[in-house]
């Protein structure tokens, strides 16, 4: 079997959409699972849509996700340039070859004439007006400086078909195909033409892309046939859907939330968790009970047979689960590198950020969630005295007030303020008063945390707040209970 060569060919028009990232990932995994080659090519021929810095976004995204290309703009493997705007002479040369063979022709139609072919809704296709110009007419028009495009000449009859790995046989009547533009009047090629030339010259054997190209591919097959080139293997991926708040499913878009890789990273999702989740949106591993995969495991487990033709739904709740599992598995130092700076921006200086980060380690699903978890730290929340009532520990506002009055002077006398000392003090107090330790801890935790659910117990919270803030909160609680 010859070497598998795949490619990812994004347009530098902004952030990396989740769908594009999935295409890059599957293309990469397909080649690497077979020991093949993966190429990065920048398709920037649509100059109007270019966004400054977008190429850097593409490169940074691939680096962050661990998708490593063998050839690309900064890694020449003998097939460069890898940026299409630097390959214009190549496209012109190959377009002219098709003109010579009769598979393409010069078209001198003005924009006004093309617009006149459209109906009131702006719908209409080219009518082949310049298909049969004589050689003399063509020479005269060119010498007169009349702008022209080069169009692909589609067959007048018959059908064109190809076999897609995922969707099987795809066939289209040639009568439905319009004579598409290959080279525009400004000398730039269209995507429909130049990607075929590039894929052939770069030795691409398998083309992986979204299924929106499923019915366009016959046009590309005709180009391969016109040149006498072997067609690549086509792998069209299932549609990527999103679910809105009402549970309705439609094509993934901004209305479903963050849809770019960078948006998700900015929200506090880990790149490796995003990659893991996206890998399962349209592909099913042989070991169907396994969900957590490293990149190396994805490369060794990926198989083209596992791809599905059914639409895949991007579920943010499922992504949160994946991300929470990755956060839980993070070494403490790596976790703190991300969590502590966030807390430093949100919390007062007296807050023990490392201790607070530790309490949150197994509780947050993504780092952007930290702020919502610590509202009780950044503000003294209003609270109802009914929170002191706990059936399990048999506490009431009245007996909690008694506990707080007793422990306040004990806490004020503590010099070495840490969780172990505070815990021992409250345990000793509960034993001396023959009170349930749980009841004592509940009273203190509610007084300090000011809410029913907190990411730590009474003494852990007091260590987070420090002595002065903890005592201040207990005094406030006593004032409210009096």
Mean pLDDT by 10 residues, the chain (482 residues): 91 90 97 96 89 93 97 94 96 97 95 82 80 94 95 94 96 93 94 96 97 94 97 95 72 65 95 97 86 95 93 92 98 97 96 97 96 94 92 94 97 96 97 96 97 95 97 96 89
- Spatial distance between the Cα atoms of 283 and 163, rounded to a whole number of angstroms: 19
Q: Which stretches of 180-216 are DSSP H helices?
A: 191-201
Six-digit token pair at 211? 């299924």
β-bridge pairing 159-164 and 149-152: unpaired
* pLDDT confidence of residue 2: 83
One of 3.40.50.300, 3.40.50.620, 3.30.530.20, 3.40.50.1000 is the CATH number of 87-237, namely 3.40.50.620
Are the C-beta atoms of 439 and 393 separated by less than 8 Å?
Answer: yes
Cα→Cα distances 163→9, 112, 174, 213, 316, Å: 22, 39, 17, 13, 34
Residue 14: the pLDDT is: 84
List the Cα angle 90/30/286 in 5-degree steps.
Answer: 165
Q: Write the DSSP symbol of residue 71.
A: B
- For the question of residue 63 being annotated catalytic, the response is no
Q: Are 192 and 216 in contact (CB under 8 A)?
A: yes
Spatial contact of 105 and 149, defined as CB atoms under 8 Å apart: no
User: What's the pLDDT at 85?
Assistant: 94
Residue with token string 């849509």: 49
Confidence at residue 128, expressed as pLDDT on a 0 to 100 scale: 86
Task: Write the CB contacts of 329 (distance below 8 Å, at least 6 apart in sequence).
Answer: none
pLDDT of 255? 55
CATH code for the structural domain at 241-328: 1.10.1160.10
The one catalytic residue in 118, 140, 254, 354 is 254
pTM of the model: 0.90
Domain 385-481 has CATH 3.40.50.720: no
Q: Which two tokens stand for residue 362?
A: 């197994």
């Amino acid at each position: 079997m010859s070497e598998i060569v795949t490619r990812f060919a994004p347009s530098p028009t902004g952030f990396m959409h989740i769908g594009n990232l999935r295409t890059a990932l599957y293309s990469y995994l397909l080649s690497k699972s077979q020991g093949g080659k993966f190429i990065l090519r920048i398709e920037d021929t649509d100059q109007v849509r270019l966004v400054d810095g977008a190429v850097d976004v593409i490169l940074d995204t691939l680096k962050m996700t661990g998708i490593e290309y063998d050839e690309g703009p900064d890694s020449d493997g003998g097939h460069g340039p890898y940026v299409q705007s630097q390959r214009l002479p190549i496209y012109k040369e190959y377009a002219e070859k098709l003109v010579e063979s009769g598979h393409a022709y010069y078209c001198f139609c003005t924009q006004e004439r093309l617009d006149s072919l459209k109906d009131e809704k702006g719908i209409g296709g080219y009518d082949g007006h310049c298909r049969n110009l004589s050689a003399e007419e063509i020479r005269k028009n060119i010498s007169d400086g009349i702008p022209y495009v080069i169009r692909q000449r589609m067959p007048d009859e018959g059908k064109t078909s190809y076999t897609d790995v995922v969707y099987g046989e795809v066939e289209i009547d040639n009568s439905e195909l319009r004579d598409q533009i290959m080279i525009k009047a400004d000398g730039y090629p269209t995507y429909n033409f130049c990607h075929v030339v590039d894929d052939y010259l770069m030795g691409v054997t398998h083309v992986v892309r979204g299924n929106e190209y499923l019915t366009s591919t016959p046009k590309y097959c005709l180009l391969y046939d016109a040149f006498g080139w072997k067609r690549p293997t086509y792998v069209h991926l299932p549609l990527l859907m999103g679910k809105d708040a009402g549970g309705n499913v439609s094509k993934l878009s901004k209305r479903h939330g963050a849809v770019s890789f960078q948006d998700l990273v900015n929200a506090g999702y880990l790149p490796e968790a995003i990659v893991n989740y996206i890998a399962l949106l349209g592909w099913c591993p042989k070991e169907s009970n396994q969900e957590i995969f490293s990149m190396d495991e994805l490369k060794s487990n990926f198989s083209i047979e596992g791809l599905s033709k059914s639409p895949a739904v991007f579920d943010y709740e499922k992504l949160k689960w994946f991300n929470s599992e990755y956060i839980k598995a993070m070494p403490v130092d790596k976790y703190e590198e991300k969590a502590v700076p966030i807390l430093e921006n949100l919390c007062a200086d007296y807050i023990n950020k490392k201790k607070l980060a530790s309490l949150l380690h197994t509780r947050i699903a993504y780092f952007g969630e930290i702020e919502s978890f610590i509202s009780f730290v950044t503000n003294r929340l209003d609270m109802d005295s009914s929170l002191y009532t706990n059936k399990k520990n048999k506490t009431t506002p009245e007996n909690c007030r008694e506990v707080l009055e007793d422990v306040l002077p004990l806490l004020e006398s503590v010099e070495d303020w840490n969780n172990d000392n505070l815990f021992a003090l409250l345990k000793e107090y509960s034993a001396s008063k023959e009170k349930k330790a749980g009841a004592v801890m509940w009273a203190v935790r509610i007084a300090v945390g000011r809410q029913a659910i907190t990411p730590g117990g009474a003494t852990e919270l007091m260590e987070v707040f420090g002595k002065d803030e903890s005592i201040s909160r207990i005094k406030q609680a006593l004032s409210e209970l009096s």
